[in-house]
Structure 1
Amino acid sequence: MQKIRAAVCHAFGAPLEVEEVALAAPGPGEVEVTLEAVAICHSDISYAEGAWGGTLPAVYGHEAAGRITALGAGVERLFAGDRVVVTLIRPCGHCPACASNRPTVCENPPDGRHGPLRTLEGGPLFHAMACGAFAEKVVVNASQVVPIPEAMPAESACLLSCGVITGVGAAVYAAGLRPGQDAVVIGAGGVGLNAIQGARLAGARRIVAVDMTEEKLADARAFGATDGVLAGEARPWKAAKAALGRGADAVIVTVGAIPAYETAPRYLAPGGRVVMVGMPHSGATADYEPVLFAATGQGMVGSKMGDVVIARDIPWMIDLYDQGRLKLDELVSRRWRLEEINEAIADTRAGGARRNVIVF
């Protein structure tokens, strides 16, 4: 095992500690990636806060890009020196979900307690989200990486690993938006801006962004929203419907706030659906009247990682980026060093950042 630096969570809610840890060599079907950049996702923050439980100590981080520096036995179509993005999507390939081309909801998730990370003393170190990317290097299954162009900036490319595919996929796949339909996107953070981009790419007629500040609504318009509504208004759904001239065909909730979930159906047109992307803390609940959904043919659907297939969708999005049709560079708010990760997390938690990125 080799020594690398990583930001380790030893206690929920406590600052991460940058320290040396041990990383195993890649085994069969695995690759080692020396990272160039890893973004701070709100899911990493929620895990580190203990929002969904978990095993400690742990290394979080799952939105990364770098270069392959070692290959395990049996790896095909990847080579040392390839630049890649690293995702948390690790399909087993044989469960019903994988067999149905839904790898984001694979029924056989890996056990992070038996991953490639250890403390320097040989103790357990949880390999969170099958990535552990708040570190200089990662060892992951080859199915989790997708090659990227040599010249693509790492801090932009890493966003394809989660925030971009989650938002774009929520609009294109989970919502199934078609040309001429209307969308409301609640939350104009990193995922929300990409849901707006996805709705634009799908041909939405109007896209209404809902957020708490005018600054966020200005961001939303820059990424393709046609209208903006302040969530703090007495009845923001009325303003959204006035902008649309009707209810929305899809309401994409990209924040984990219960009030956002409870009000989301109010924006819908008959036959519309709420797409649930943002993840509240475990135990949080929302109230609905089922009769209203039944009477109007409306629905709710969860969307994990945009329901994407990374080998298909990440190359598609890279091509859109190359054409200037998908904004990635503009999503990066600020670049930080690994030693500054707690400051980067605090800045992300404050809500103003699109995406903060650790660069190596």
Structure 2
Amino acid sequence: MVKALVARGATAELSVEDVELPEPAAGEVRVRVRAAGVCHSDLSMINGTVSPEFPLVLGHEAAGVVIAAGAGVTRVAVGDHVAINWSPACRECWFCRRGEPWLCVTAEGVSSRPRGRLADGTPAHVTLGVGALAEEVVVGERALITLPRQLPLAEAALMGCAVLTGVGAVRNTAGVGPGESVVVLGLGGVGLSAVAGARLAGADPIIAVDVSPEKEGLARACGATEFLLSDKGLPKAIRSLTGGRGADHVFECVGRAATIRTAWQSARRGGNCVVVGMGARDDMVSFSALEVFHFARSLTSSVYGSADADHDVPLIAAAALDGSLDLGALVTHRISLADVPEAFERMRRGEGARSLVLFD
């Protein structure tokens, strides 16, 4: 049995419970989790945005140490330090063969998978096939990426989702270059990672935007050169900082129609608007046919940072090791499993950045 954070329903209170995980089958690996991030996607599992199966072990962003491996495992070995990739590519479907592993069909539409049992014998499900808010997880070997031993496992947990998504949106989806102007709307863990990614890319200026003035210090620590509060005059304020044109690249990291609309209006003519936040299916955004033609802006989404985790996570790890990427700047709270409900409340209030669950 391992301790895990369990949701028994969309409206039920969260609880730390005993969960019995299966032994690793062929091609599977058991990992002792050292740290796990509390992600907005975990909140989406219980607030109605997506519809997983319950009871559900929450969590999908983590790093840890391999403690057991099933038959035929060759990718990792017992004792390896690993980051968990919640969307491992199959390398065989049409999207993977086309070089778009972030769109792999094996993860499309999957919010939970069956794995293990609760102490009372009830079959359990795990978030995105992982269930990382737990002392241990059992995952397929393709979901693991080996990490350098000198990289602290606590902050390394963020590379499996927030950092890969935010940095990937800048590097892979938008292809931001040196000297290009960047705006990031929404400064949670992913948004701050996008700010850090913009600094890595050499963008200038880097304009960070949030509804909370308390986010300014976090934004500047991650690389923002300017900070603005979100209000009705935001597009005009952004134009004043970008030669009157608007930004070359605007990243929407909230997932709301109103914010997407603001991001679109903040991009220059011919600029790029990238939606990183996951929104609700009934939250509609509209554009006039004339403005779509006239402004010649591009509008796209960035799914999992348009990243190939096997390629991109080692690059992010190298940046963390050489000091060009400060993973610790993304963490504002280091907590226990029992503290996750309060972390969700902070998330709802827009407070802080990443909360990180630490295990012994």
CA distance in 2, matches of 1:346, 1:205: 34
CA offset digits 1:123-164 (Å, max 9, x no partner) = 331222111111111111111111122232222010111110
CA offset digits 1:197-220 (Å, max 9, x no partner) = 111212212111111122212321
Q: What corresponds to 2:44 in structure 1?
A: 46
Q: What corresponds to 1:26 in structure 2?
A: 24
Q: What corresponds to 1:357 in structure 2?
A: 356
Contact 2:113 2:127 (C-alpha < 8 Å) held by counterparts: no
- What displacement does 1:55 show? 1.4
SS at match of 1:260: helix
SS at match of 2:318: helix
1:153 matches 2:140: no
Q: How does 1:232-311 map to 2 (within 5 A)?
A: 232=231, 234-245=232-243, 246-311=245-310
Q: What corresponds to 1:87 in structure 2?
A: 85
Q: TM-score when scaled to structure 2?
A: 0.94
CA distance in 2, matches of 1:263, 1:289: 14
Listed as ranges, the gaps of 5+ residues in structure 1 are: none
CA offset digits 1:269-306 (Å, max 9, x no partner) = 12112111111223221122233122232121111110
**Residues 230 and 113 from structure 1, CA distance in 2 versus in 1: closer, same or farther, beyond 3 angstroms?**
closer
Contact 1:251 1:268 (C-alpha < 8 Å) held by counterparts: yes
- What displacement does 1:113 show? 6.3
Listed as ranges, the gaps of 5+ residues in structure 2 are: none
SS at match of 2:123: coil
- What displacement does 1:355 show? 0.7
- What displacement does 1:324 show? 0.9
Q: How does 1:70-81 map to 2 (within 5 A)?
A: 70-81=68-79
Paired letter, 2:211: M
CA offset digits 1:225-266 (Å, max 9, x no partner) = 12122102x311111110111211111001123221121111
Say which is worse superposed, 298-307 or 342-351, in terms of deviation: 342-351
Paired letter, 2:56: A
CA distance in 1, matches of 2:289, 2:85: 36
**Residues 114 and 323 from structure 1, CA distance in 2 versus in 1: closer, same or farther, beyond 3 angstroms?**
closer
Say which is worse superposed, 30-39 or 210-219, in terms of deviation: 210-219
SS at match of 1:115: strand
Contact 2:221 2:329 (C-alpha < 8 Å) held by counterparts: no
Say which is worse superposed, 217-226 or 245-254, in terms of deviation: 217-226
Identical-residue share of aligned pairs (%): 37
- What displacement does 1:348 show? 3.0
User: Size of the alignment, in residue pairs?
Assistant: 357
Paired letter, 2:77: F
Say which is worse superposed, 250-259 or 338-347, in terms of deviation: 338-347
**Residues 340 and 229 from structure 1, CA distance in 2 versus in 1: closer, same or farther, beyond 3 angstroms?**
closer
Paired letter, 1:24: P
Contact 2:222 2:330 (C-alpha < 8 Å) held by counterparts: no
Q: How does 1:1-360 map to 2 (within 5 A)?
A: 3-109=1-107, 115-232=114-231, 234-245=232-243, 246-360=245-359
CA distance in 1, matches of 2:289, 2:35: 44
Contact 2:162 2:189 (C-alpha < 8 Å) held by counterparts: yes
Paired letter, 1:118: R
Contact 2:218 2:330 (C-alpha < 8 Å) held by counterparts: no
SS at match of 2:263: helix
Paired letter, 2:345: A
CA distance in 2, matches of 1:100, 1:62: 26
Root-mean-square deviation (Å)? 1.7
Paired letter, 1:295: H
Q: TM-score when scaled to structure 1?
A: 0.94
CA distance in 1, matches of 2:27, 2:80: 16
Contact 1:348 1:356 (C-alpha < 8 Å) held by counterparts: no
Say which is worse superposed, 113-122 or 53-62, in terms of deviation: 113-122
SS at match of 1:125: strand
Contact 1:113 1:124 (C-alpha < 8 Å) held by counterparts: no
SS at match of 2:193: helix
**Residues 188 and 339 from structure 1, CA distance in 2 versus in 1: closer, same or farther, beyond 3 angstroms?**
closer
CA offset digits 1:28-68 (Å, max 9, x no partner) = 22111010111100110121222212211111201101100
Paired letter, 1:69: I
- What displacement does 1:117 show? 2.1
Say which is worse superposed, 147-156 or 98-107, in terms of deviation: 147-156
